Structure 1
Amino acid sequence: MKKPETNKSQSRPKRLAVLASGGPAPGINSVISAVTIEAINRGWEVLGVKDGYRGLVDDDMKQLSREDVDWIHFRGGAVLGMSRTSPVQGDNLEKIVATIKRRGIDFLVTIGGDGTAFGASFIAAETGGVLRCAHVPKTIDNDLPLPEGVPSFGYTTACHVGVGMVQNLIIDAQTTRRWHLVTTMGRQAGHLAIGIGKASGAHLTLIPEEFGIDGATVDKFVSIIEGAVIKGRAEGRHWGLAVIGEGLVGALKASELEKLPDAGRDSFGNIRLANVALGTILCDQVTRRLAERGIDVAMREIKLGYELRCADPVPFDIEYTRDLGYGAVRFLADGGTNAIVVVDHKKRTYVPFEHMRDPKTGRPRVRNVDINSENYHVARRYMQRLGRRDFADPQQLARLAAAANTTPEAFKSEFERLVCGEPMDFDGPGEKRELKLN
């Protein structure tokens, strides 16, 4: 007797693919582990895609078991590898869709930034909505448009590791009586710079957000750093450390960028900001200006970035990414698609992909540091930075002028412009607030 035919698509388990794209961030392995375990617990098969979207283009993946992922959650890096392959470049999209159909993939979980998320949405659309996608956002820059107070995973670990490194450099600066200028990652926002600078006790931190939409000049950056060095010397401290975000380059006026050493241009004729050696330029100009005052200061730049991306995640990021990985699978199991997984104060929510782009410009939204927040206000209060009260107090002004080998009048004429328009309570007692107790 002939057995009745069965529908293979109905008899086989659901199949989920997971990939990580872009640059590394601490906690990726924990997401992969959480996604895999939750999917297997639901009776699904899990395919680990190697090297991001390149693995879908080349059909390079492996089936994952619990044994493959049980003990990877506390390790840095990404066991599946990563790449910046674009799913929509050339004929990649066509190849990816063919791989998905050939492999019978029902769900896709992507780990990455806004580009990775939108790549997944293009793939889902190309399959006619058959493929359902969930995205877990990651970046150590913390600049993705998540709800206020919700970090992107990896940021907390990057801060933790960065603070340890900067604290060592502060001791080195104190021991050798020199200044270090530490440049951190953060191409568009200063979260990582201000986080590391504030927690480590750096004497000065500069981020792009404080210079507004009008743009800044190299001269202003140099003067702020020079002022911090002089203020330290007036207090008997002939050493120090400043942290700057690499995004300061993007805060420069276009006319200022044209003056910088040629860093090359992209295919659209724009200056490649990542290639501008701003830290070196600032060190050279600050030491030259101080030398003209008869002050001998050794200052060197140290770049801090790649050392942070593959660090083992701290417990916060491990717990956080467990929640995110579980949330991604739960979202897909409940019939969802094309959304970002967000865990806001232990509550799981989902944000449509479209939220990551500005509807007016079509460009990715960027979450900037709120320079009007108390978090930033406190950071400024603990910096060794010239403030309005330095110029309002005649005795302090005299000390600063003596440290700069000039007169109080000349010092005020040269540096007071740096603090015009700033709140007085950045460097003095703020207004009294009524304390209410419940």
Structure 2
Amino acid sequence: MESIAILTGGGPAPGMNTVVGSVAKTFLQKGFRVIGLHGGYSGLFNKNPKTTDIDFLLADDIFNRGGSYLTMSRFKPTDKNFEEDFNLDFFVKNNVKLLVTVGGDDTASTANRIAKFLEEKKYPIANIHVPKTIDNDLPLPAGSPTFGYQSAKDMGSIIGRTVATDAKTSGNWFVVAAMGRSAGHLAFGIGTACHYPMIVIPEMFNKTTITVDKIVNLVVSSIVKRKIMGIDYGVAMISEGVFHSLSDEEIQKSGIHFSYDDHGHPELGKVSKAHIFNEMLEKKLKEIGQKVKSRPVEIGYEVRCQTPVAFDLVYCSMLGMGTYKLFSEGKTGCMVYVDPAGQISPLYLKDLQDPTTGKIPPRLVDIKSDKFTQVVENILNYITPADYEAAKKYVADPAEYDFKKILNW
């Protein structure tokens, strides 16, 4: 019997099980055996990988659940792993014809390496990747989201709305931090859904170097503007990705000492970014003599394993079924792509990769789009030159907290 193997890599996102379950149901119906690999890519470089045969009942049981039935990992194979440890016997003995990988940017980059490796060695194994990440930062065409993003944004917005209600009820400020390693999609999406008066994402610093002081001053700008408006409460949303843009000197200024993962990324999940931002904000408010209470709230792991919303249940089902469609057409070394109209097509990793590094570059928030500029102009609250005179009641130099001056816009 011909088989396929499927693995999930990186961190969780709502819809992992929907993809796995939909792939399994579709291929089982076509007469294939479906083997689930546990431990992400580590299973491919292990003589005794942990596997589970996925039958229809298992697929039907997990497809609408959060989390991932197949255990995940961030294992990143080295060149030595490829040459010495790649478990070709697993594919030969089980007559595996297709490897399905489910993951984000790092998983996609490794999938790209595997596709090249299989092609160079002339191993007759197709490879198709399913793009996932709550960060929404894979460069899919036409603004199509990565799966998991809509569900994470939905849960984040539920948390975010309760925080905004608390702020209004208690007359306090809150500093909320949301996941997003290099792009601010999740933070911007949640902040927009909740009409937060300040949103800070790394893409905003396109004309100036990002610093701790600038981040804090943007929040102070909103606090002072709201005071001028007669409002003593609010919420500031800050993307954790701003840390990735800070210099080593600036990170030290924040007082945080990061450890780094296998891909060289600071392990932001080990610390509360909201707590860090809030501490820095409180210090600044004390310096300028403003008695404002602020509280930190982290939106992180809480949104990664939630039950998928209907959008992702349908989208991930299409991605799962689309995997078979592409395989049946002889496609390999590609991502499965479902456009906004519901059409399925291959998106080749080699066309998305950086020609020098081979890595898949992240998709950033388009700060020139109406989607972004309209929020900045109509939802955010911040100091402008017209507010300088009124702002002098709260700060000595209002220009220092002018939103567009801070960003050099």
TM-score, scaled relative to structure 2 = 0.90
1:184 offset after TM fit, Å? 0.6
TM-score, scaled relative to structure 1 = 0.84
SS of the residue corresponding to residue 171 of structure 1 reads: helix
Larger C-alpha radius of gyration, 1 or 2? 1
Distance 1:182 1:262, change over 3 A: closer
Given the alignment, which residue of 64, 87, 94 partners 1:74? Answer: 64
Distance 1:299 1:79, change over 3 A: same
The aligned runs of 1:30-109 (5 Å cut-off) are 30-56=18-44, 57=46, 58-88=48-78, 91=81, 94-109=85-100
Gaps of 5+ in 2: none
The aligned amino acid for 1:399 is A
The aligned runs of 1:10-409 (5 Å cut-off) are 13-56=1-44, 57=46, 58-88=48-78, 91=81, 94-124=85-115, 125-126=117-118, 128-212=122-206, 214-264=208-258, 272=266, 274=268, 279-345=274-340, 346-388=342-384, 391-392=385-386, 396-402=387-393, 404=394
User: Aligned partners of 2:261, 2:347: CA distance in 1, in Å?
Assistant: 33
Distance 1:231 1:43, change over 3 A: same
Tell me, yes or no, if the aligned pair for 2:225 and 2:383 is still in contact at 8 Å: no
1:172 offset after TM fit, Å? 1.2
The two structures, once aligned, show a CA RMSD in angstroms of 2.5
User: Aligned partners of 2:289, 2:49: CA distance in 1, in Å?
Assistant: 65
Distance 1:40 1:229, change over 3 A: same
1:320 offset after TM fit, Å? 0.4
Distance 1:77 1:420, change over 3 A: closer
Identity within the alignment, %: 33
Tell me, yes or no, if the aligned pair for 1:339 and 1:353 is still in contact at 8 Å: yes
Distance 1:121 1:267, change over 3 A: closer
SS of the residue corresponding to residue 14 of structure 2 reads: coil
Tell me, yes or no, if the aligned pair for 2:38 and 2:50 is still in contact at 8 Å: yes
Tell me, yes or no, if the aligned pair for 2:349 and 2:360 is still in contact at 8 Å: no
1:421 offset after TM fit, Å? 7.6
SS of the residue corresponding to residue 148 of structure 1 reads: helix
Question: Cα deviations across residues 82-127 of structure 1 (Å, max 9, x unaligned)?
Answer: 1222344754763422222222211111101233234344445345
Tell me, yes or no, if the aligned pair for 2:184 and 2:239 is still in contact at 8 Å: yes
Question: Cα deviations across residues 323-362 of structure 1 (Å, max 9, x unaligned)?
Answer: 1111111111221111001111211111112234211444
- Whose relative contact order is higher, 1 or 2, with alpha carbons under 8 Å and at least 6 apart? 2
Tell me, yes or no, if the aligned pair for 2:382 and 2:403 is still in contact at 8 Å: no
Tell me, yes or no, if the aligned pair for 1:193 and 1:243 is still in contact at 8 Å: yes
- Residue 419 of structure 1 is matched in structure 2 by 405
User: Aligned partners of 1:370, 1:79: CA distance in 2, in Å?
Assistant: 34
The aligned amino acid for 1:20 is T
Distance 1:420 1:197, change over 3 A: closer
SS of the residue corresponding to residue 181 of structure 2 reads: coil
User: Aligned partners of 2:252, 2:4: CA distance in 1, in Å?
Assistant: 49
1:250 offset after TM fit, Å? 2.0
Distance 1:218 1:119, change over 3 A: closer
Tell me, yes or no, if the aligned pair for 1:21 and 1:52 is still in contact at 8 Å: yes
Distance 1:374 1:413, change over 3 A: closer
1:295 offset after TM fit, Å? 2.4
1:387 offset after TM fit, Å? 4.6
User: Aligned partners of 2:40, 2:142: CA distance in 1, in Å?
Assistant: 29
User: Aligned partners of 1:84, 1:282: CA distance in 2, in Å?
Assistant: 27
The count of corresponding residues between Structure 1 and Structure 2 is 400
1:281 offset after TM fit, Å? 4.0
SS of the residue corresponding to residue 26 of structure 1 reads: coil
User: Aligned partners of 2:265, 2:4: CA distance in 1, in Å?
Assistant: 41
Question: Cα deviations across residues 44-89 of structure 1 (Å, max 9, x unaligned)?
Answer: 1111222322333232212221111123222101112212223447
